[in-house]
A = this chain, B = another copy of it.
Amino acid sequence: MDERTALRMLADALPAAGDDAAVVEDLVVTTDMLHETTDFPAGTTRYTAGWRAVGASLSDVAAMGVPAVAAVAAYAAPRFDEGELVDFVRGAQDVAERVDAAYVGGDLDHHEEFTVATTAIGRRGDHDPVLRSGATPGDVVCVTGSLGRSAAGLRAFEAGDPDRGNDLFRFTPRVGAGERLAAHATAMMDSSDGLARSLHQLAEASECGFAVDADRVPLTEELTSTVDAAEAWDLGVYFGEDFELVCTLPERAVDDATAALSDCEVSLTRVGRVVDAESGVTVDDDPLPDRGYTHGSE
């Protein structure tokens, strides 16, 4: 059973699961496990690992459109080096502070492979949590920021430029943007599985389709400046591991949402429209494959 099938099975067994975070009373809760071989390329500092691991869970809170309250992490390594632990904690604290959440520690465990499990908690603010399931044909679909930052980071690590790789691997979770979008969005999730897969997941949850305009998809300059256009598209749309928000909202709300996001210095780009489920997920009228970075098949 691959990871997607297993996740779907779990979503069926657990009514609160299946979105970016589970909703319990007025809280949202999300947990993630990352480890060295799949998530932290050689050269990733512990500071970046702490930032990125805690940031990934905070991104799931952002995708629910609610304020983040707190995050914890369980840190497992073959041995505990004081400098590494301090760096990890600093990274975790810094990313949490960036979104006004508290990093409040966690657990330590001995493990052959460096492994981090993070949990973040958010709490309903002015708006109900935004689920994946509310997109309606006629809505527009938008993306915050730009795509491909993590792919560019991975390329930098591979090219022997860990400073640049570490910079690109640290991102600001879109918590502020998510809260502002919650006033308008009909459905939302983060882009951690890649834009293509995110759209397919939104399509499945909302029983709709999407028509994307390729030219409108915002690929990060960090990527387009280093690889050709076809590769930039592939990495930006399929690779994932970015932590932008993908959301749908009524046409009439786009200007207000864009203005609200500019307050927190996040851009919002309209990349296409919500269409009927029968039309599927397309880009410039061709099918957009439901393909991405499935951990289970790596």
A110 contacts chain B at the CB level, 8 A cutoff: yes
Minimum C-beta distance from A215 to chain B (A): 35
* Pair B11/A105 contact, Cβ less than 8 Å: yes
A285 contacts chain B at the CB level, 8 A cutoff: no
Minimum C-beta distance from A7 to chain B (A): 6
* Pair B108/A31 contact, Cβ less than 8 Å: no
* Pair A103/B31 contact, Cβ less than 8 Å: no
* Pair B33/A109 contact, Cβ less than 8 Å: yes
* Pair A24/B117 contact, Cβ less than 8 Å: no
Q: List residues 92-117 of chain A with CB under 8 A from any CB of chain B.
A: 93, 102-113, 115, 117
Counting every copy of the chain, the complex holds: 2
Specify which of B81, B102, B113, B117 is in contact with A1 (CB 8 Å cutoff). B81
Assembled-state Cα–Cα distance A105/B25 (Å): 15
Minimum C-beta distance from A269 to chain B (A): 29
With CB as the reference atom, state the residue of chain B lying closest to A105.
Answer: B17
* Pair A38/B110 contact, Cβ less than 8 Å: yes
Q: List residues 58-107 of chain A with CB under 8 A from any CB of chain B.
A: 69-70, 72-74, 76, 79-82, 85-86, 89, 93, 102-107
* Pair A117/B10 contact, Cβ less than 8 Å: no
Minimum C-beta distance from A68 to chain B (A): 11
In the complex, chain B residues whose CB is within 8 Å of the CB of A113: 111-112
* Pair B1/A105 contact, Cβ less than 8 Å: no
Assembled-state Cα–Cα distance A3/B85 (Å): 11
Minimum C-beta distance from A38 to chain B (A): 7
A29 contacts chain B at the CB level, 8 A cutoff: yes
The bracket for how many chain A residues form the interface is 35 or more
In the complex, chain B residues whose CB is within 8 Å of the CB of A214: none
Assembled-state Cα–Cα distance A79/B18 (Å): 20
* Pair B107/A74 contact, Cβ less than 8 Å: no
* Pair B25/A108 contact, Cβ less than 8 Å: no
Specify which of B5, B85, B108, B121 is in contact with A29 (CB 8 Å cutoff). B121
* Pair A106/B1 contact, Cβ less than 8 Å: no
Assembled-state Cα–Cα distance A111/B86 (Å): 25
With CB as the reference atom, state the residue of chain B lying closest to A111.
Answer: B35
* Pair A2/B80 contact, Cβ less than 8 Å: yes
Question: Can you list 30 A-B pairs, Cβ within 8 angstroms, ordered by A?
Answer: A1-B85, A5-B80, A6-B108, A7-B108, A10-B89, A10-B105, A13-B89, A14-B93, A14-B104, A16-B102, A16-B104, A17-B106, A24-B121, A27-B121, A29-B70, A29-B72, A29-B119, A30-B72, A31-B73, A31-B107, A31-B117, A31-B119, A33-B107, A33-B111, A35-B109, A35-B111, A76-B115, A111-B113, A111-B115, A121-B121
Chain A positions near chain B (C-beta within 8 angstroms): 1-3, 5-7, 9-11, 13-14, 16-18, 22, 24-25, 27, 29-35, 38, 69-70, 72-74, 76, 79-82, 85-86, 89, 93, 102-113, 115, 117, 119, 121, 295-296, 298
